[in-house]
Structure 1
Amino acid sequence: MLKQTRTYTDYNGISRTEDFYFNLTRAEVTEMELSVDGGLVEMINRIVAAKDGKQIIALFKDIVLRAYGEKSPDGRRFIKTQEIQDAFTQTEAYSDLFMELATDAQKAAAFVNGIIPAQKSVASDASKTPVTPL
């Protein structure tokens, strides 16, 4: 699980500092890996090699939103609903994170590596794959 403490200015002009949580379970990574020909890592490599900015942006948005959620108060669940995703995308925190990942390859790679479970074999493959945003 990746926890990011981010400071952003809301739409009332108020500076806010909040914690945001991102996580992909082994099951979610496996589903993503098996849902594309050649696997997720190969798909990322193809998109990056083709320098397809539109697909790179779409992929990052998909990964960020699949990973975003809220921990339950007792810590037993990591809740991911469309409502939670929508609320997050409607904040400047999301916009700031998205732009950061789209423009900084090191931060993008650290983000991806931070949300993929260490014990998943895909994670070791993904950590070797350079993620090159726009």
Structure 2
Amino acid sequence: MYKKTVEYVDFNGEKHVEDLYFNFSTTQFTLFMSKYHALDDPEKFVHRMLKESNTSKMILFFSDFIVSAYGKKSEDGQRFVKSKQISEDFKNSAAFEALFSEFLENPKLSKELADGSVSGISASKNLTPDQQAQVDKIKNIASAKRG
């Protein structure tokens, strides 16, 4: 899980400081990458985007990554809740605008987000060798993003 504290001004001109949380489970990340037809080799997909310097595609991918990883952590820490409504509300918020701008200005932060959002995946125990290989690929993707 990745926690990022963001300062922003809302649409009423009020200043806010908010902790935002991002996380992917193995299943969520697999489904996310399947949208980009990158399940066979997600690492190669990211490297290809970087090599092609396809800025528009990278920005859309990263925006989708941020929104897809975003969720609300329950106060007791037992749940990390995601829904279409939570994603849509976040995508249309001043907090998202401030966060996205910060990531564009500081590429090291995008790596932190990618690393942190998939950090819990390797915490799964009793992985088969194939599952561990997939986890390793996910970790490598996180490292490749603006490494």
- Interval of TM-score (by shorter of Structure 1 and Structure 2): 0.7 to 0.9
SS at match of 2:75: coil
The percentage of aligned residue pairs carrying the same residue is 26
CA distance in structure 2 between the partners assigned to 1:9 and 1:39 by the alignment: 40
- AA matched with 1:100: E
In structure 2, the partner of 1:25 is 25
Q: Check the 8 A contact 1:33/1:41 in 2, yes or no.
A: no
Pairs within 5 Å for 1:112-127: 112-117=114-119, 119=122, 120-127=135-142
CA distance in structure 1 between the partners assigned to 2:141 and 2:105 by the alignment: 19
Q: Check the 8 A contact 1:33/1:39 in 2, yes or no.
A: no
TM-score by length of 1: 0.86
Measured against aligned partners, the alpha-carbon deviations of 1:73-109 in whole angstroms (never above 9, x if no partner) come to: 3322211111111111222210111122233221111
Give, in angstroms, the shift of residue 123 of structure 1. 3.8
CA distance in structure 2 between the partners assigned to 1:40 and 1:99 by the alignment: 25
Q: CA separation of 1:130/1:21 partners in 2, compared to 1, >3 Å: closer, same or farther?
A: closer
TM-score by length of 2: 0.79
SS at match of 1:74: coil
User: Structure 2: where are the runs of 5+ without partners?
Assistant: 123-134
